[in-house]
Structure 1
Amino acid sequence: MSRIEQRLQELGITLPEVGEPKFSYIPSRQTGNLVYTSGMDCRVDGVLIYEGKVGSDLTIEQGQECARQCIINALAVIKKQVGNLDRVKQVVKMLAFVNSAPGFADQPYVINGASNLLIDIFGDAGRHARSAIGTSDLPFHTPVEIEIIVEVEDN
């Protein structure tokens, strides 16, 4: 078992299978040693764990759960792309969108659910540059959508 898979197991995380997209995009693209993911939502077994706006329909804590699930889904995509998460040298950048109620301005607290998980999994290599943006809606009313960029070691 790889070091990162062992860490995921310690955290009680099982990565999902990566299905084929239903729309005109691919889940990830690698160029050189960088892997870019498409935007990930908070689905488990094809169903959003929550729907709606953080700050009215959902609490910050529920938003953090969504952000955490987005990262779990992103890691599954990265594993499919590179074969082994031990190849992740560092998380470079996260771009996160929060489906926000009018006046809600605590997006950074929501996205800490994702950032903290990456640090829990990868240690210092999980620390990353980040943008946490509030938006008036997201596809299918997902509360959070996240994309990440990771640097990977050569094979």
Structure 2
Amino acid sequence: MSVIESKLAELGVTLPDAPAPAANYVPYVVAGDIVYVSGQISANADGMIKGKLGADMEAEAGADAAKTCVISLLAQLKAACGGDIDRLVRVVKLTGFVNSTADFGDQPKVINGASDFLVAALGDKGRHARSAVSAASLPFGVAVEIEAIFQIK
């Protein structure tokens, strides 16, 4: 088991198989030492995590949904690294989209669910630049979608 996967296991997380794309795009692109991972939607073993923050979902539940997105991002990263996720140098940037009402302003608190998990799992390698923005709706009615940029060796 890799160093990163061992740390994830300590946190109670096993990386799933990388999700297949839902449309006409690739799940990731490797360009030199940079991996661009397509947006991953909030989902777990029970299915998609749907909801609109500020209407039928609270920020804490949104943060939990964001964590599921980052687990899928790491699964895609592992696939992009040919199964060796320990090639990760650092998380460069996350862009988080939060399905929220016009008056909901806690998008950063929601995306903290992803950021906090990355730092817990990866230490300084997990510290990253970030955007957290509102979306009037997201695919399939999911609560959160996050895309990422990683540096690898």
- For this structure pair, what is the TM-score category when the shorter chain's length is used for normalisation? over 0.9
Q: What amino acid sits opposite 1:52 in the alignment?
A: G
Q: Secondary structure at the match of 1:7?
A: helix
Q: Secondary structure at the match of 2:17?
A: coil
Q: Secondary structure at the match of 1:119?
A: helix
State how many pairs are aligned: 152
Correspondence 1:104 to 2:104: yes
- Measured after TM superposition, the shift of residue 56 of structure 1 is 1.1
- Measured after TM superposition, the shift of residue 16 of structure 1 is 1.0
Q: Which runs of 5+ in 1 are unaligned?
A: none
| Residue correspondence of structure 1 range 60-79 to structure 2 within 5 A | 60-79=59-78
Q: Secondary structure at the match of 2:103?
A: coil
1:114 corresponds to: 114
- For residues 68-121 of structure 1, what are the alpha-carbon distances to aligned partners after superposition, in whole Å with 9 as ceiling and x for unaligned? 000000100110110211111000001110001120011000000000011011
Correspondence 1:150 to 2:112: no
- TM-score calculated relative to the size of structure 1: 0.94
- Measured after TM superposition, the shift of residue 18 of structure 1 is 2.0
Distance of aligned partners of 1:46 and 1:23 in 2 relative to their CA distance in 1, 3 Å threshold: farther
| Residue correspondence of structure 1 range 31-110 to structure 2 within 5 A | 31-45=31-45, 47-48=47-48, 50-82=49-81, 83-110=83-110
Contact kept in structure 1, 2:19 and 2:72, CA below 8 Å: no
Separation in structure 1 between the aligned mates of residue 30 and residue 5 of structure 2, nearest angstrom: 21
- Measured after TM superposition, the shift of residue 19 of structure 1 is 4.0
Q: Secondary structure at the match of 1:38?
A: strand
1:125 corresponds to: 125
Q: Secondary structure at the match of 1:120?
A: helix
Distance of aligned partners of 1:46 and 1:152 in 2 relative to their CA distance in 1, 3 Å threshold: farther
Q: Which runs of 5+ in 2 are unaligned?
A: none
Percent sequence identity is: 45
- Measured after TM superposition, the shift of residue 51 of structure 1 is 1.1
- Measured after TM superposition, the shift of residue 45 of structure 1 is 3.9
Q: What amino acid sits opposite 2:135 in the alignment?
A: T
1:24 corresponds to: 24
Q: What amino acid sits opposite 1:69 in the alignment?
A: T
Distance of aligned partners of 1:145 and 1:22 in 2 relative to their CA distance in 1, 3 Å threshold: closer
1:6 corresponds to: 6
Q: CA RMSD in A?
A: 1.1
Q: Secondary structure at the match of 2:26?
A: coil
